[in-house]
Structure 1
Amino acid sequence: MKSTTAARAALVLALVSGTAGCGGGGGGDDLPDARGALRVPVGGELVITTDHGVTLRPGAGGEVAVDDRAGHRWSRRDDTRVLDLDCAGRDGRCPRMPRVDVPDGVSVTVRARDAGIDAAGIAGALDLTTVNGDITVTGSGADDGAVRLATRNGSVRADALRAGKVRAGTVNGDVTLACATAPAGVGGTTVDGSVRLALPADVPAYRVRAATDNGSTSVDVPTTHDTAGRTIRLTTVDGDVTAARA
């Protein structure tokens, strides 16, 4: 039992590990305007790094705009725009989860710590990671994009999620996923907490693995043994596992 718990904890920790750094600076057309906003084209990639949390909301005019109370620095790594948020020297005026507006069609990666990530209305692929904080996603993602949500010592909650593939994990907390589409693959894992998945009523059949050591499992979605088909993998150690249709 202890070895199983330790192994699963190690897998989840591997999921949430890794921090993106800021590469070399950009120039020319990549310079932010006087407000600190930067244009990012459709199909572009945005990486946000912070020692706290962040709030993501839809942007307009193809621009990524940043809460003016938060210190920030732009740089570029290959074709990726990198935004480093920093509250140092802001005399308490910097919010713990500053708002960043992101235009449609931009893929977003966030590396945060000691605070949460709240994303709503973001139309693009998402890769969100924090430690010691919750991740909340509402009405976000892209039908053909990947969504990865990972924390440690916090819960993951996603509602009206759109994605081609979904992977969500934590160590101490619940994972709750409600999808507006039928992803090709869904993975949800925790150690101390429950895992719940809700899919649309008309979803096709999935190859399902639902497992817990101390709890109950309930699967109410069409199932198949086709190894080339859609997959659901939901696991925990201490908690319940549920896969259902909305």
Structure 2
Amino acid sequence: MKIMNGFLGELLGTFVLIVFGAGVNCGVNLNKTYGKKNGDWLLITFGWGMAVTMGVYVAGSIGSLGHLNPAVTIAEAAFGLFPWSKVVAYLLGQFIGAFLGAALVVVHYYPHLKVTKPEDGNHVSNFATLPAISNPLFNFLSEIIATFIFIYVLLNLGNFTVGLKPFIVGFLILAIGMSLGTTTGYAINPARDWGPRLAYSILPIPNKDSSHWEYAWIPMVGPIVGGLLATALFKIQ
């Protein structure tokens, strides 16, 4: 039952995270939304911060630890902070929840996707991430650095699903987005990137552009490496 609670908590928590996160991206970038004219990076980072907060609250209430992120789950398991027996359930919940969240955002914004061409804002970065400057080495390092800072601070919070701690996590996401996120869009979470990227690839979205799978290894591998380094430092401090 605990494993099922973990699966459902991670699925629904990540689902909520992506609905809010991809939703704010679409609200800022798609034509004829009220956010198109007034949107900016601060709005996006704040939206993602609150997305994580609400996702953690949902996940924690169902009985999971609110990881919502394979980089957190894998790193904690690798250093004995989380049981390997629960890893598969958590990862499945995270990736499935991210896909479903993106699918709901597609339904919600469908009329705006129909009137927005790729050059006007209908692109995969509403759902997944792309670099501001394509440089695989430095894009990879950006994801490692941002995830390292995120998970290191997260680990020092202890149980972050209780009380007001999910808001602290949300403000942590906001701070990382404003300080380190403007180079790659700060995936810092493989599920947050790959689930919505897959949804954008296979769903019948009008006017869609390339899903840029050639870049997708960076938001998958970079956060995992950053998470492992952060957890290693936490364990020896």
Check whether TM > 0.5: no
Task: Point out the structure with max Rg over C-alpha.
Answer: 1
Structure with the higher helix share, 1 or 2: 2
Higher RCO (Cα < 8 Å, 6 or more apart):
2
TM-score (ref. length: structure 2):
0.28
Structure with the higher strand share, 1 or 2: 1
